């Protein structure tokens, strides 16, 4: 995991979290980033702590605080929507425009048959995602996404709502395979500002290249 550090200073780490690794250990157990926190301590007094979450199958930038004040400052940034996050995704559709906004409230819904998922519902929490086309390949499209809110599964649910599910997102209609969603860049408006950019994971390279997007 040390080889996946994108930024490191006395207060903040930004990691390139691999797809398939949960940030927190779930009730069913299994590997998670928590298993790596002792190694990432690197002689510091406290274990570094994630300031936000990425879905298990989402790769890319994840910020951790290395001190109690840094953890508190990062938590505030994410809670107040001040952290600037950029994602790349490959979707299984061809949006009719080059850019736009999805502003649709999201609600967690659970059924015995299907389990839980996020759905667009007027009773849900306000949610906003800005999107921009960065490449096309027939009925597949590479998008740059900027979430302005931080709801669970927000990007996946919003794109499915638009009719453009993410490639490999079986939960939201994108078919089988690996999820083509990358937390590409993260900017933290601290003093000084921290920023990092994650490389494209191997499983996304081919689809992005076909859309004309390089690594």
For the chain, which domains are there?
2-210 (3.30.2350.10)
Report the pLDDT value the prediction gives residue 215, as an integer from 0 to 100.
Answer: 72
Active site residues: 55
Report the pLDDT value the prediction gives residue 46, as an integer from 0 to 100.
Answer: 84
- Cβ burial of 186 (10 Å; 0-12, 13-18, 19+) is buried
Least confident of 44-48, 89-93, 98-102, 193-197: 44-48
For the cut 90, the answer to whether the pLDDT of residue 110 exceeds it is no
For the cut 80, the answer to whether the pLDDT of residue 28 exceeds it is no
Report the pLDDT value the prediction gives residue 9, as an integer from 0 to 100.
Answer: 94
The mean pLDDT value of the chain amounts to 94
- pTM for the complete prediction? 0.94
- Cβ burial of 166 (10 Å; 0-12, 13-18, 19+) is buried
The residue with greater pLDDT, 29 or 117, is: 117
Report the pLDDT value the prediction gives residue 93, as an integer from 0 to 100.
Answer: 96
Rounded mean pLDDT, 64-92 = 95
Rounded mean pLDDT, 167-178 = 95
- The CA–CA distances, whole Å, from 169 to 5, 79, 91, 154, 173 equal 27, 26, 9, 13, 6
Rounded mean pLDDT, 180-190 = 98
Rounded mean pLDDT, 158-164 = 97
Q: With beta carbons less than 8 A apart as the criterion, state whether 183 and 54 touch.
A: yes
């Amino acid at each position: 995991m040390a080889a996946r550090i994108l930024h490191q200073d006395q207060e903040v780490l930004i990691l390139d979290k691999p797809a398939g690794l949960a940030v927190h250990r779930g009730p069913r157990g299994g590997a998670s980033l928590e298993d790596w926190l002792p190694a990432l301590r690197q002689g510091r007094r406290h274990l570094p702590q994630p300031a936000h979450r990425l879905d298990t199958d989402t790769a890319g930038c994840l910020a951790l605080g290395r001190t109690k004040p840094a953890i508190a400052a990062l938590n505030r940034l994410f809670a107040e929507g001040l952290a600037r996050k950029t994602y790349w995704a490959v979707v299984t559709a061809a949006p009719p425009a080059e850019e736009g906004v999805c502003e649709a409230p999201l609600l967690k819904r659970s059924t015995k048959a299907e389990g839980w998922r996020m759905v667009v519902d007027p009773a849900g929490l306000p949610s906003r995602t800005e999107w921009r086309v960065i490449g096309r390949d027939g009925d597949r499209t590479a998008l740059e996404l900027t979430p302005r809110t931080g709801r669970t599964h927000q990007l996946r649910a919003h794109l499915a709502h638009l009719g453009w599910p993410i490639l490999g997102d079986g939960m939201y209609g994108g078919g089988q395979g690996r999820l083509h969603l990358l937390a590409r860049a993260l900017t933290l408006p601290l003093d000084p500002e921290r920023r990092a950019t994650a490389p494209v994971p191997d499983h996304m390279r081919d689809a992005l290249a076909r859309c004309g997007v390089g690594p």
